[in-house]
Amino acid sequence: MSILDQLVERARQRPAHVTLCEGDDVRVLAAAVRAAKEGIARITVVGKAQDIERCAAAHDLSLGGVTVVDPAESPFAEDLAHTLLSLRAGRDLTPDQAREEVLKPLTFANLLVHTGHADGSVSGAVHTTADVVRSAFQIIGRAPDVPKVSSFFLMLFEKPWHTRQGGMIFTDCGLIIDPDEETLAGIALSAARSAQELLGEEPRVAMLSFSTAGSAHHPKVQKVVNAARRVREAWPELAIDEDTQFDAAVVPEICKRKMPESKVGGQANVLVFPDLDAGNIGYKLAERLAGATAIGPLLQGLQKPANDLSRGCSADDVFNVIAITSLQAQRLKVAASA
C-alpha cells in the first residue's frame, strides 16, 4: 500500500470536519465530493450556493454528502462577525466592515474552524498563498509554543528507480525566507511532529548546511548549529544532527565516515533547509529531476490545521490535502483529550 493510500485509510478511520471555500472551482468541488463519498472527512463547502450548484451540474457532480454553506444566508454570519471584531480588536475594523468581511468564503471558512464548527480548512486553488496564510494566521492563529507559522512538503519517493523508498518532510520550502536560529528551531520541531503524524515514524532530523559536523566555519553554519541545539533542549530524545550536508543526511555510508556519532545515521526523514532559497530549490529538484511526488505547501504551527494548495493543483492534489488536514485535526483532538 502506498503512503498516500495509508494516509487516506487513516483519515477514514476518524474523519474530521474540513471546510473548503473554492467550490465554484471544479477541481475543489470534485475533490470535496470524492472526500465525502470515501469518508475521509466530513465536508463543508463555503461559497455562493448558486455558483457551487452550477459548477456541480456542469460537471455532473452529485453534492450528496457535502454540506454547502452560503455566508450570505448562514445563521452563523452575525456571530462570526462579532468573533472577527474581537480577533481584530484595535485594528479599526467597524461592525459593518466585519459583516462584509465575513461574507468572503475564505474568511467565513476559517472562522468556522476558529469557533469549533469545523476542524480544519483547505484553500489556495484560487486564492494566493499570501491570502491563505494571512487569513489562517489572523483568524485561526499560531500555536502558543511555536515562534512562527511555517510550511513543509510531504515528499514521496515510491517510484521503482528511487534507491530509498518512503516519505520525507522537507521544510521550510514555501514560506519563511530567512529564518533566524529561534525560528529555524521552531520549524524543525514542527516538522518533526509532522513526520510523526503523517509518516507514522519516529522523526530523524537533519539540519542541512554546506558544512558537516563543523567542517566549515561561517555565521550561516553557526545559525544551523545553534538552532539544532535549541531543538535538542526542547526535545532531548529526538534524533537530530547539527550542521549536515545533504549526502551525510541521506546516505548511511557517507554519514558513518563524516559523522560516526550521528543518531540519524544517514537516514533522515526530516530535512530542515537553512533558508527558503535552499528549500524551494531542493524540493523542486527532487520533484522535477528525481520524480518525487510533492504534496504541499502544507502549513504547520497553527492552532488548528489550515492548508494551502498550489493554484496549479489537480483534483487528486486537493483530495490528498483534505486527507492530510483530516489527519492533522485528528492528532490535535487526541492531544487535547490526553
Q: Is the pLDDT of residue 334 over 70?
A: no
Is residue 73 exposed (0-12), middle (13-18) or buried (19+ Cβ within 10 Å)?
exposed
Amino acid identity, position 22: E
For residue 190, the model assigns a pLDDT of 93
Nearest by Cα to 183 from 125, 119, 244, 227: 227
Rounded distance between C-alpha atoms, residue 338 and residue 331, angstroms: 11
Mean pLDDT of the chain: 92
For residue 306, the model assigns a pLDDT of 94
- Torsion angle in degrees (nearest 10) through CA of 231, 292, 312, 111: -30
- Torsion angle in degrees (nearest 10) through CA of 320, 322, 327, 328: 110
Nearest by Cα to 114 from 144, 89, 147, 137: 137
Rounded distance between C-alpha atoms, residue 59 and residue 81, angstroms: 34
* C-alpha grid cell, residue 178: 530567512
DSSP conformational letter for 62: -
CA 263 to chain centre: 27
Q: Is the pLDDT of residue 28 over 80?
A: yes
Instruction: Render pLDDT for 228-268 as a digit per residue (tens, 0 to 9).
Output: 999 999 999 999 999 999 999 999 999 999 999 999 999 99
Rounded distance between C-alpha atoms, residue 85 and residue 312, angstroms: 34
Nearest by Cα to 128 from 174, 172, 88: 174
Q: Which sign does the torsion angle of CA 128, 130, 133, 139 carry?
A: negative
The share of the chain scoring above pLDDT 90, in percent, equals: 76
Strongest mean pLDDT among 11-15, 85-89, 97-101, 220-224 = 220-224
CA 320 to chain centre: 11
List domains and CATH numbers for the chain: 3-141+302-337 (3.40.50.10950), 150-293 (3.40.50.10750)
Q: Is the pLDDT of residue 335 over 90?
A: no
For residue 338, the model assigns a pLDDT of 58
Nearest by Cα to 114 from 83, 90, 93: 83
For residue 35, the model assigns a pLDDT of 96
For residue 90, the model assigns a pLDDT of 63
Q: Which sign does the torsion angle of CA 171, 306, 158, 284 carry?
A: negative
Q: Is the pLDDT of residue 195 over 70?
A: yes
Instruction: Render pLDDT for 290-324 as a digit per residue (tens, 0 to 9).
Output: 999 998 889 998 999 999 998 888 999 999 999 99
Amino acid identity, position 267: Q
Amino acid identity, position 36: A
Instruction: Render pLDDT for 71-120 as a digit per residue (tens, 0 to 9).
Output: 999 998 999 999 998 888 767 788 888 899 999 999 999 999 999 999 99
* C-alpha grid cell, residue 256: 558513518
Q: Which residue matches cell numbers 465575513?
A: 102
